[in-house]
Chain A
């Protein structure tokens, strides 16, 4: 609270970049957790809530005629533009927000003050929702070749690994310890995915400390044991996900990669995925492209090309495909590593898992996968997502890229995934928002030390409860094509720009009607009818009629779509009012149109001008994503304004 210099500013304008007509005037509040904008005018109750932890940057712009612009740039790619009348107010808000959005300690994060109306038992239940032990046993582990080794129970061997680790039964403790000493940060090879059908595994580790010539017998034994634990195969792959040049450079620092001569029966392979710094810069460029105001087609495509973003996505996808094919088609185990084994390794292992196992294409499966490959294996969420103020160089969109790979797969296989892109976007928000405890800290150990489970809530149950929003109506689990290995094409044209993620808040860019939402409604309707049928079986009752009415309404109750259908776009390519009449004339023309329209289309409850307003009021209900998850959470009401 002490950071808030200015709790309330009046007469602030919230600018909508796409249309100056949608600019709202209202009051800006700063609370301990949120920035809140309440628009004036009773009918337009579309308050804007922004979590401080979602704020990536606050920027002051040069004063304009109307006041002092303040930009809030969010980690979910939302850019909010305020214009504040007084310079001093603007400065105070700027200073306050700059501090509030850069917490120094974990304790300042929102998840520790977030307090939904649930009791302790329910909170604990939320943490029990996902159980990694159950996940391993779903894979068929432990079995006669693999078991949980308790060596890391106290995080002594490797403090960034989880407590429970699967290693081959044949491996002895000294081998593990020896191997861990030969690996960066002690991250010795351990199991990530096990394929029941052919016993092939995906294992992961960090780079070996091989330098130019060092070797380690225990590490060699470790790999040997992993290979042997797949009885059918005569060799295993070791995949270094770095570009060869980077790996070679690491040798000079006493790190490096496996020498094929020292390890028997390994096939070594480089896959050139760039490091976190390259990825950070690439995404930065991509964001700049996505934020271009009315670019030409050429500018957009060139910008997309120059960002290199899709090239990186493709390289991750190809790595995942290589591994999944090795496992599923060749029946060969794979050891994956990069430098530390928590960024590219996590990406590649999880992409391969999605390709290999249909379970990860279900809602719960994807949650488990992220919990396993990312959370438990020590992906440094707090560093990579910039949860706390710190090293800017540690920030990198590694998990974004994984989610995007899944999205690209969904685009290629529309029937193979149980979830839809809203689910991915929700996960993305929660990773950054610090609303729940799951993604706080950098490792399991840190989370345990901080007692996250006692102090914060888990997001997975929350997402599960909202699963109806996240369902893909086209999902066909029984389709043979969707069973087993997905074989995506990695032709360049299969990689698309993810508009829904990067331009999520530019409403005018998105389709005005949603095929999937409509299908979902139809499906639900069918189900309801079936239930009714079962209920009234045998009774002569003309129930179908009511069903018909319902369905008709349901279809039309996609107000987002119909109302927006009537929002004209900017076809002029510039400021909205450049073209046509003088201002006065234009307004009168619009006014009279407005009147006509309201009359003529009352039936549809949407007309051209009010369509715009309609949308904003519907948006909280319809597009549940922005409002519910990120900016405004209904649960959080009590922690919000009251605190202010």
Chain B
């Protein structure tokens, strides 16, 4: 639950404030997640007041006219606020109901904020930010700061990194607030043919589950592929060395195969003259929907481990830069309400794709029409967007963003005026001075007046996990993307406009309160984008 949801009444007009050294003031009182704000709407600083809710030590309310008529003119209440810095002030609030609401909101917030903090502290007892990779020498594709178990020191990380392909040692990707379980990600361990071990890597994983009985390793290769990987120096975590971890293999196609799927899919979509049989057979043959199916299923499995069974999970494939990110970010979308807002989703992409070192430049060098020979191309990111779209189809109210945002991202990832998707890793971006020389796409998308088309008019946040159905009957071709340039799309556009019209009409009628409810909650959560790293640390 967002803090702001505890606020019963956010705004009261014509409140009288009495405090030491100042004349009584009449103005507006606002309650926000962390502050109490009073202003008489004039510019002078002396006529405004900002108090941290945390600073409030006690609150007393006295309501006049208790036996009278609640809405009668003149009924009012007084709240006395006693702060931890010994300041005492009084607020006279017109309207008994408002008065009680304000008082109880402050009381509740005060408790909740404290418990939030405690939870965070609990987390930080177990996890820390490591700068071991600050010069990108331990793992060239990781960001300079990563989150690891507190009890594992940097030396151990370095050794674990040597034991993992590309140095991608297990790092924290998500921590589930409800039960403290985590999703970790890494690349495959380099056990090789003669079953090498790495004590530090084992310790690192042991520290992750920290006393609990079991963790799951979701290996995104079939058992056979994982076996074969040993021949080329890769491998998997064997039961004997990682006794508290249970391995589950789920086969995922990668690289060239997925790229070819996309090529076949687009090819069949661009020929309307096929018979239905041919269409279905070619659609099947492209295997694109099968990839969507496996990505969502495995993400569902991860969520099941974390949310239902209460176990931590480590996800990896081979390099840990494609399917690994796909699965871990989808799992977060399903689990975490915060990642379903516009900001949250873009943060997720920033963390799980851009900072986590998905090699965008290699993967998205060409799209489907190019005759260039395939090298490293693979539409992993597009696959993610497709899966997100499928989730949205099944939970049309649960995401704050719209299909248009997904389409925009699908476009930007291949060709962009912005620097966000440039290069293959943070190291490369640093070296190329991307941050200094280009603009950030996400920031421009998050302008305070975010474009309406990127918002879902029906958004109603829910705290629950949104488990998508992965039955083939429930998955559909993403027509908005793949049949984008057909007549079909126009009718859908019309429907979208109609949805907006209905919602807007309702907001107009329902008055500004209602409008605030959906749109301003969005604005509240809109934090400047520079805070991404904070986001990372707050988790």
Contacts and interface: CB of A to CB of B under 8 A. Distances in A.
Per DSSP, chain B at the interface is helix
B510 to A, nearest CB: 5
Most chain B C-beta atoms within 10 Å of own C-beta, residue among A301, A302, A606: A301
Most chain A C-beta atoms within 10 Å of own C-beta, residue among B304, B473, B495: B473
A304 interface: yes
Contacts of A143: none
A608 B280 contact: no
B276 A296 contact: no
A544 B495 contact: no
B410 interface: no
A492 interface: yes
A223 B273 CA distance: 35
Interface string A528-567: 0110010000000000110110011001100001100111
Contacts of A533: 509
Given A302-B280, A311-B276, A596-B178, 13 more contacts: A296-B472, A298-B290, A299-B472, A305-B277, A473-B502, A511-B396, A519-B499, A519-B502, A569-B467, A569-B468, A580-B246, A589-B309, A601-B464
A565 B502 CA distance: 25
Given A492-B276, A522-B503, A571 B463 contact: no
B470 interface: yes
Contacts of A566: 464-465, 467
Nearest to B397: A513
Contacts of A502: 473
Contact of A301 (B214, B283, B305, B397): B283
Contacts of B503: 519, 522
A375 to B, nearest CB: 30
Contact of A561 (B277, B287, B397, B476): B397
B323 interface: no
A547 B472 contact: no
Contact of A489 (B283, B289, B486): B486
A461 to B, nearest CB: 29
23 contacts: A295-B472, A298-B284, A298-B290, A300-B473, A301-B283, A302-B280, A302-B281, A311-B275, A415-B498, A481-B494, A491-B486, A492-B278, A493-B477, A506-B473, A514-B396, A545-B511, A551-B506, A562-B462, A567-B467, A569-B468, A569-B471, A589-B308, A592-B310
B510 A529 contact: yes
B300 to A, nearest CB: 4
Interface in A361-387: none
Contacts of B179: 596
A493 B269 contact: yes
A106 interface: no
A511 B395 contact: yes
A487 to B, nearest CB: 8
Interface of A: 290, 294-302, 304-305, 308, 310-311, 314, 412-415, 473-474, 476, 479, 481, 489, 491-497, 499, 502-503, 506, 508-515, 518-519, 522-523, 525-526, 529-530, 533, 544-545, 547-548, 551-552, 555-556, 561-562, 565-569, 571-573, 579-581, 586, 589-590, 592-593, 596, 600-601, 603-604, 606, 608, 611
Nearest to A310: B276
Nearest to B302: A571
B303 interface: yes
Most chain B C-beta atoms within 10 Å of own C-beta, residue among A305, A479, A572, A593: A305
Contacts of B483: 493
Nearest to B71: A542
A492 B487 CA distance: 13
B469 A510 contact: yes
Interface of B: 1, 178-179, 214, 246, 248, 269, 272-281, 283-284, 287, 289-290, 292-293, 297-298, 300-301, 303-305, 307-310, 393-398, 458, 460, 462-477, 479, 483, 486-488, 491-492, 494-495, 498-499, 502-503, 505-506, 509-511, 513-514, 517
Contacts of A589: 308-310
A509 B469 contact: yes
A512 B506 contact: no
Nearest to B268: A493
A556 B458 CA distance: 12
Contact of B479 (A305, A493, A579): A493
A181 B281 CA distance: 47
B313 to A, nearest CB: 12
Nearest to A547: B510
Contacts of B511: 544-545, 547-548
Nearest to B490: A481
A16 to B, nearest CB: 15
A497 B460 contact: no
Per DSSP, chain A at the interface is helix
Contact of A593 (B1, B301, B308): B308
B380 to A, nearest CB: 18
Contacts of B470: 569, 571
Most chain B C-beta atoms within 10 Å of own C-beta, residue among A530, A565, A592: A565
Contact of A297 (B293, B308, B486): B293
Contact of A579 (B248, B458, B471, B492): B248
Given A415-B494, A491-B486, A492-B275, A297 B472 contact: yes
Contacts of B178: 596, 600
Contacts of B246: 580
Most chain B C-beta atoms within 10 Å of own C-beta, residue among A414, A491, A508, A601: A491
Given A301-B289, A413-B491, A492-B276, A565 B498 contact: no
Contacts of B499: 474, 515, 519
A611 B310 CA distance: 18
B278 A518 contact: no
A508 B469 contact: yes
Given A414-B491, A415-B491, A476 B498 contact: yes
B272 A512 contact: no
Given A302-B284, A565-B466, A589-B309, A526 B506 contact: yes
A548 B510 contact: yes
Given A497-B473, A544-B511, A571-B301, A513 B396 contact: yes
Contacts of A606: 464
A568 B302 CA distance: 11
A550 to B, nearest CB: 9
A555 B460 contact: yes
A608 B310 CA distance: 13
Contacts of A579: 248
A370 to B, nearest CB: 25
B464 A562 contact: yes
Nearest to B491: A413
A571 B330 CA distance: 14
A497 B292 CA distance: 18
A571 B300 contact: yes
B340 to A, nearest CB: 12
Contacts of B304: 568, 571
B509 A526 contact: yes
Nearest to B479: A493
A474 B467 contact: no
Contacts of B298: 571
B464 A412 contact: no
A118 B303 CA distance: 53
Contacts of B472: 295-297, 299-301
Contacts of B297: 571, 573
A525 B398 CA distance: 21
Given A413-B491, A513-B398, A565-B462, A489 B473 contact: no
Contact of A572 (B283, B301, B513): B301
A492 B396 contact: no
B464 to A, nearest CB: 4
A506 B395 CA distance: 17
A593 B308 CA distance: 7
B280 A515 contact: no
B513 A544 contact: yes
A552 B301 contact: no
Contact of A513 (B281, B395, B491): B395
Contacts of B468: 569
